[in-house]
Amino acid sequence: MPFPPRNISENLKLDLTKFLKKNDFVELYKSYKWRNDTLQMGFPGILKLEVRLIKNDLKKGITLQDVKDVAKWGKLRNMARIIGNDIVLPPNTLHGDNGMPSELLRFQSTGPLCILKENIPRGIGPTYLTKVIRFGLPQEFGAIDTRCVRIFGRGDHDTQQHNWLAIKVINDGYGWYIPSTQVDWPTGYDTWIDILRFFSHKLLDNCPHPREFVEVGLRSKGKWTCADIEMALFSFASKHIRSKTHKC
C-alpha cells in the first residue's frame, strides 16, 4: 500500500470523499485505454515499461533511453529534442536497498522530479517527467497528465469539474501542456500524490489488475497503487473531455 497522504485540507478531503461515493473506481480502471493498453489486452505497454524502469532503478539507474521509450509510449511530439545524460536517475533513487520504496519519498515526492530535470535539460516537461517516475515506482507515483489537470486543476474553464489542484494547463494553439515555469510547479505535484494516496487508502482491495502484473510482482492482488488510481482518474477525465467535445 502507498504511503499515507501527508497534507490534505479538510475541504479537499470532503470533495474527494464525495467523488469516491459517486464514482466506481473499478469501472474507471477497467475502462482505461491508451493505444494498445487496455485491460482486455493486459496493459502490455505499461507492463513492459514498469518491469524495465523498476529493474533499472534497482540496478544501473534509469536511463535516457528509458525516458525516450516512455515518451514514445506517450506519443510525445518532437522526440528528437530530448537531450540529457545517459543516466537520468541514479540507482536506488526510487527504491531502498531492500527493494521497497525509499522512505525519503514519504515526505519528498518532488525530489526525483528535480533530479530528472537536472539530467534532462531539454525535450520533456512536467507530464513526461512524472510519467517516468510513475513507471519507475507505480506504488507511490502517478503521472500528472494534461487531461487530469483540465478536469481536476485549472486552465480549461470549459471542462473543469473540480478544484483539487492549483496546477494549471495552457493551450497556445499547439495543444494543452503544463508550464514548468508556473508558481505551483513542482510543489503542486505533492498535492496530486496526496490525492492518489488518499484514494488508495480509502478503496477496498478490489483493483482488477491483469494477472501478469500480480504474477511478476508488480502488484499485490486487489491492492490499489497510486498508478492504478491515476489510471482511473485519467479515464474519468478522458470521458468528460470527450463528452464536452462532442457537445460542441
- Cβ count near 27 (within 10 Å): 12
**Residue 67 amino acid letter:** V
Residue 137 φ/ψ, nearest 5 degrees: -155, 75
Q: Tens digit of pLDDT for each residue in 68-91?
A: 999 999 999 899 999 999 999 999
pLDDT, mean of residues 204-227: 98
Give the helix/strand (H/E) hosting 176. Answer: strand 176-177
- Give the SS3 label for residue 171: strand
- Cβ count near 106 (within 10 Å): 13
Residue 110 burial by Cβ neighbours in a 10 Å radius (0-12, 13-18, 19+): middle
- Residue 248 has what pLDDT? 40
pLDDT, mean of residues 200-220: 98
Residues 6+ apart with CB under 8 A from 22: none
Instruction: For residue 203, give the C-alpha cell.
Output: 478503496
Angle of helix 126-136 versus helix 226-247 axis, rounded to 10:
140
Q: Tens digit of pLDDT for each residue in 228-245?
A: 999 999 999 999 998 866
- Residue 7 has what pLDDT? 87
- Residue 46 has what pLDDT? 98
- Residue 110 has what pLDDT? 94
This prediction's pTM: 0.96
Q: Are 237 and 147 in contact (CB under 8 A)?
A: yes
Q: Are 109 and 133 in contact (CB under 8 A)?
A: no
104 DSSP assignment: G
Q: Are 199 and 224 in contact (CB under 8 A)?
A: yes
Q: Map 113-164 to HEC letters.
A: HHHHHHHCCECCCHHHHHHHHHHHCCCCCCCCCHHHHHHHCECCCCCCCCCC
47 DSSP assignment: H
pLDDT, mean of residues 196-206: 98
Q: Tens digit of pLDDT for each residue in 19-33?
A: 999 999 999 999 999
